[in-house]
Structure 1
Amino acid sequence: MIVVLDRDIARADIDRLTEDLGAAGLSAKLSGNGDPWMLVAAEQVPGRVRQWVRELPGVSRVVDVPGKFRLSSRDFQPESSTVTLDNGLTIGGTGFVVAAGPCAVESAELLSATADSVRAAGAEVLRGGAYKPRTSPYSFQGLGPAGADLLDQERKRSGLPVVTEVVDPGDVELLADRADMLQVGTRNMQNFALLSEVGRSGKPVLLKRGFAATIEEWLFAAEYVLSTGNTQVVLCERGIRSYDPSTRFTLDVSAVPVVKALSHLPVIIDPSHSSGRRDLVKPLALAAAAVGADGLLVDVHPESAAALCDGDQALSPEEFTDLMASLRRVLAAVDRTLARPCEPLRAREA
């Protein structure tokens, strides 16, 4: 049960309502950012109890969510939600959004060259990791704060909003000031402290599915972000571990319609990390468009053979241009188009 409170309710009245619910045997957690506040109870309650709650002072409405999920559920919000970046670009709805760029930020020159090429091909978001969690401690881990500064400079120069991964709760504030969207990667999908911290940042969040996570676990991870009051969440299917070694992971294309039936959140697909193979990126990306995904996250690198991170899966600028041409044809076949930002980001004054 979700109790949506009046927008002008005082904190003392929220505390009173929480006590009233507790006295009735309902444990309720305060959620939201005041626009409006909500009390989220784990229990499903009988109709007579819901009616009693509706009549309490300060209550705007009561939503009984029958399933396991609360704020991500279509029972709570039947219509599909959208996520809007600072430049007006909308993820979700009728448009299809493509984020592209190097897996990791390596240098200013490489980042600028990649940004120019992917923007010319039709990408609307620049991806790039300042921090990179790697399986081996000896692999390139990213440039850290210096990489975050390069991303900030590039979004101002190119006009492309930036999505970058955050791996530590202590880095959220730094990256939230230098990027337009914070990515929680597959290894951190159940890092609950990190999920809560990125939620509290108020920035749009891209939440990747853990490579051994069920859809239920993925949506519960989204609930951690949503419960902070941050409704700007995009889910990203990036492949799950299976017994077949032909690809790095197995892209679960079926997850898109399954999640969309359960949740109102937008869903995009990462065809690069799921396959780990450059030759499979294009067919998997086209499948994402056909199955109803809201966008793509694609690795692009102008010198993939020399890439410091995941070069085997990175497309060249020419290959990405070819992918975008084919993508437009597939989107047209299913009555969709690429999304368009409202305004390019303008360079800020120093």
Structure 2
Amino acid sequence: MNDRLKALSDAGVSIWLDDLSRARLTSGNLARKIADDSVSGVTTNPTIFAAALTNGADYAEQLKSLGDEIDVDHAIKQLCSADVRNACDLFADVFTASNGYDGRVSIEVAPTLANNTGATIAQAAELHELVGRENVLIKIPATKPGLPAIRQTIADGISVNVTLIFSQERYREVMDAYLSGLEAADAAGKDLSTIHSVASFFVSRVDAEVDKRLALVGRDDLKSKTAIANALVAYGAFADVFGSDRFKALAAKGANVQRPLWASTGTKDPTLPDTLYVTDLVADGVVNTMPEKTMDAFGDHGEVGPSIVGKSAEGKAVLEQVSAAGVDLPAVFEVLENEGVEKFRRLVERTRYVGGEGDCFRQLIRETMRE
């Protein structure tokens, strides 16, 4: 057992791995991380599955089982959901021991649906059925059209990982969608204790965008402070909402808090400490989903920082300084959300070209059928 990662887990931070592939499952790598690195969940996204599918041989056997006439999108959905289902099974004991808070594996609705509420709701239900495991989380982006989809999916009794959250304002809308969904589920007679959710608040991308703008106005003294400050303010919003009478009424009926999840926690600036967005975001009950590189770095030399509870005012003061320096934070958050959706959308389109230039996923399917 890695002592540093265990110390982080003992401080109340759920350590989730931001990666999944067929090879990670079949090699026993993920099982070892559960046993040795205190990993208690997995998140995925289109980038992760695009990378996984480059190893076409790992998926050849399942492709053959799908039959001779395969739609590419259907094939990708089947392959990815199988990985998520098998990962869910690996985490079954963690899921049971934590009463559903951990042992979770996320699968994301197609980012091409990010601005289509009805289609997002439909695909969330489809993916939930396709994976067929209680510990799956359906990932829905926190776009404006995504908010009612989040509410309805929760109302339908499906657990959700809300992704691509960058601002406190949008985060509060996400929490409202969750509570509204719980209220609707309660009115429909559903067992609220079975519904779980995390809210994925993105971190390093904020510094990457803001630091470029700070450099333009000659304020390098504020460099790499915005992301942590933004997360502190977000955690304060979480404490407000889930300490409210509105949530207490739901909690009395068995409802669970929607836990904050720190996403995008690998540092993008090589001059920063490689464990910055882990060490400085410790609080009992949060989730930190890490790329393997970040997890390994923390396991090697990471330190558990002080709790961020009660530090919202400190974060707000930093954000005010950044704004006063001339950085339009609302514009930053809008750019990041749009870029996030567009990046994933392009990856979905390119997933058919998984082996490099000219190597089409459709061709991989055809070759597999001929073997």
If the length of structure 2 is used for normalisation, what is the TM-score? 0.46
> Normalising by the residue count of structure 1, what TM-score does the alignment of the two structures yield?
0.48
More helix by share: 2
